[in-house]
Structures are given as C-alpha cells and as structure tokens.
C-alpha cells in the first residue's frame, strides 16, 4: 500500500477476522475463519493462473472458534478487513495484526481473469503471484520475520 490515503475511503471500524488452516498445500487449502461473529469453512483448489475454485460454507461461530483453537495449525492469522467501493468493484483491505503487524494488503475479486481494473493510486506493488503474501504462508513465515529488503 502506498501510504494511508485509503483510510479516508473507509466507513467504520472494519471487521475483525481470525483464521487458521487445517490443510495448506499447493493443490488445496482448508480454512476456518471467524468474520465478526460469523463462522466459515472454506475449501480452495490449487491456482490456475491467478484464479482458483473456492467453496465457502457458513458454520456456527462456536464451532469455528473450537476448530481454530483445537484443529487448525498455529499460529492463527489475525486481521481487520475494510471494504472500499471502487468503480464497479469492492476493494477489500486487510490490515494484519499479531506476527503480521505492519502488513496491509488490498484485494479485488474480479468476475473473470480478463476483467480490466483501474488501479487506485494508493495501491502498492502487485503481489498476486508472490507466494509470501498468501495467508496460508503467513502462518509459516509471518511478516515480522521478513527482512526489510523483502517488504
């Protein structure tokens, strides 16, 4: 991210997210997430370019909390998500905490890989193909362990 100007576009405090992984490998990830007071189970396939199939299911919040604490690989990922309307899209900005404090990532879900997006000037470098920025990788090698030149 280039500076903090994106914060001027945010309404509200953002939603807290806690997530952990039951399985994380290049072919599939299985994630448990609490988003505010909701729980989710998400299964993602391996990438095909910058896209992949994703299946997400709502689960009881209490079940999600138990799975995060007892089943998921630790450390867990903690972050706050902000949603910013942009043109005909929604930009999701994740501000990480814990071992990933200082990392802020913006993401836009595109309807297909050929969609053209006018990038806001406050976006930083493109990291879609950089594996280090995947949440599942941040549990293995958190941002606090990156050397300054890697950031």
Backbone φ, ψ for residue 75 (5° rounding): -80, 155
What are the residues facing 93 on neighbouring strands?
Answer: 82, 106
Spatial distance between the Cα atoms of 40 and 77, rounded to a whole number of angstroms: 14
Please name each of the domains of the chain with its CATH number.
5-150 (2.40.320.10)
Residues 85-124: pLDDT tens digits?
988 899 999 999 999 999 999 999 888 878 888 889 899 8
Predicted pLDDT at 127: 92
Q: Catalytic residue numbers?
A: 21
Q: What is the CA 40 to chain-centroid distance, rounded?
A: 14
- What pTM was computed for the model? 0.89
Residues 42-100: pLDDT tens digits?
999 987 776 788 999 999 999 999 999 999 999 999 999 999 998 889 999 999 999 99
Structure tokens at 19: 């997530």
């Amino acid at each position: 991210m280039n500076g903090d100007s994106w914060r001027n576009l945010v309404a509200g405090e953002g939603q807290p997210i806690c997530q952990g992984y039951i399985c994380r490998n290049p072919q599939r990830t299985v994630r448990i997430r609490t988003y505010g007071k909701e729980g989710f189970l998400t299964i993602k396939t391996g990438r095909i370019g910058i896209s992949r199939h994703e299946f997400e299911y709502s689960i009881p919040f209490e079940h999600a909390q138990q799975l995060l604490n007892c089943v998921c690989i630790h450390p867990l990922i903690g972050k706050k998500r902000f949603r910013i309307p942009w043109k005909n899209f929604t930009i999701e900005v994740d501000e990480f905490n814990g071992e990933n404090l200082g990392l802020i990532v913006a993401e836009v879900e595109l309807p297909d890989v050929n969609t053209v997006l006018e990038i806001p000037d406050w976006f930083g470098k493109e990291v879609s193909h950089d594996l280090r920025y995947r949440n599942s990788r941040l549990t293995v090698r958190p941002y606090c362990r990156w050397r300054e030149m890697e950031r």
